[in-house]
Structure 1
């Protein structure tokens, strides 16, 4: 009888220990809420510090998660560059035939302005679009497909090769005189009133059409600066594939 009682006591103690551990785990889980909030706040603060790659990546991930109202002030970035994406003009050619029809750098004319001639608001604290229109100035019909290579040159001479988004490209056909192709850069401005983050003041843009090896140089036509995330793997400033605009 005594042995049975002892076993019962040991069993009860074991059950209580399990319950205690479970309660501790629950307490840890519930305490993770404020901890997560603190981390989220830290990520927001990291947006103001562009000296650390980790801070930049955390900032991009946090801002990139904002979807609804992403273009409203204070709501962060709509999307970010794909992690580890290319920064050159190389794209996978579908066929040799399409390769031969490709628009070459010298066959195109380049001008700033979006589909409706709009310019980015460089004092905004949320993502903007800077667009370059491509016109077929040659005498033959040619095609564009994929991502261009885009290098930003700052007023101090620093270079920033833009990473690509995850948007899937499509083939655009340009007949002589057509101006329906558009290069779109998603940029994250740095308002002049925001102190602390490192600015990248763009002076020139070196643009290489898809699969070409020569570039053209365009003067940056807008004032202000963008947030310097040149070392980040998922920056808020990046390039989309060429689209119809």
Structure 2
């Protein structure tokens, strides 16, 4: 009787051991599966993050494409690589001087749009071209800056032989009296000019005095930059 009982106890212990081992194995598998699931979720989160980043990149690209339609304030223009590297006029090849066609200058006492122009002269020893919008930044007497927006005008190519001075940077400006109530005047002191597709600029002193209506945050300001033209 005792022998049978001892044998039954040993068998029961063995079975319990097997069950325990099996339970442990199941627990391990469950832990491994949970870990794998978390890794998958982490991977999915990365994929989701990548997807958001891709959407963001698309939005940035769309914004850049929209900006190229006339609202940019820098000197970058959508021209061919050959035009921007081999033929274009570089900043160091140009002289800059104030004065529109026939020596015209803006009437800063007027309260309607005027034109302020800068003549570009090819001071280099090669023929070069200008096409597009320059970057123009106004600096006020108090140090405020205003990057002018572009007009919705299609540019044309201007060819300058050595010594030619027929290219013009033309700004349309909206003068206002300095003391006009209910307006904020911008008092120009200097102008930074960057030729189309260049990265270096020249600084000119504003020679006309007066003030223009401060519309630095306006979508369609009365003061803006036109493409390089012939004067």
TM-score when scaled to structure 2? 0.68
Q: CA deviation at 1:99?
A: 3.3
Match of 1:111 in 2: 97
Q: Is 2:224 the partner of 1:224? A: no
Match of 1:161 in 2: 147
Match of 1:67 in 2: none
Q: In structure 2, which of residues 59, 70, 76 is the aligned counterpart of residue 90 of structure 1?
A: 76
Deviation sequence 1:129-168 (CA, Å, 0-9, x none): 0000000000000000000000000000000000000010
Q: Which has the higher contact order (CA 8 A, sep 6+)?
A: 1
Q: In structure 1, which of residues 179, 188, 198 is the aligned counterpart of residue 174 of structure 2?
A: 188
Alpha carbons of structure 1 residues 211 and 98: separation in structure 2 relative to 1, 3 Å: closer
Q: CA deviation at 1:95?
A: 4.8
Does the aligned pair in 1 maintain the 2:70–2:151 contact within 8 Å?
no
Q: In structure 2, which of residues 112, 132, 138 is the aligned counterpart of residue 152 of structure 1?
A: 138
Q: CA deviation at 1:205?
A: 0.2
Q: In structure 2, which of residues 168, 174, 199 is the aligned counterpart of residue 213 of structure 1?
A: 199
Runs of 4+, deviation exceeding 6 Å: none
Q: CA deviation at 1:223?
A: 1.2
Q: CA deviation at 1:195?
A: 2.2
Q: CA deviation at 1:84?
A: 7.0
Q: Counterparts in 2 of 1:28-177, with a 5 A limit?
A: 85-97=71-83, 99-177=85-163
Alpha carbons of structure 1 residues 128 and 97: separation in structure 2 relative to 1, 3 Å: closer
Rounded Cα–Cα distance in structure 1 between residues aligned with 2:153 and 2:98? 22
Q: In structure 2, list runs of 5 or more residues that go unmatched.
A: 1-67
Q: CA deviation at 1:194?
A: 2.6
TM-score when scaled to structure 1? 0.65
Largest Rg, 1 or 2: 2
Alpha carbons of structure 1 residues 139 and 200: separation in structure 2 relative to 1, 3 Å: same
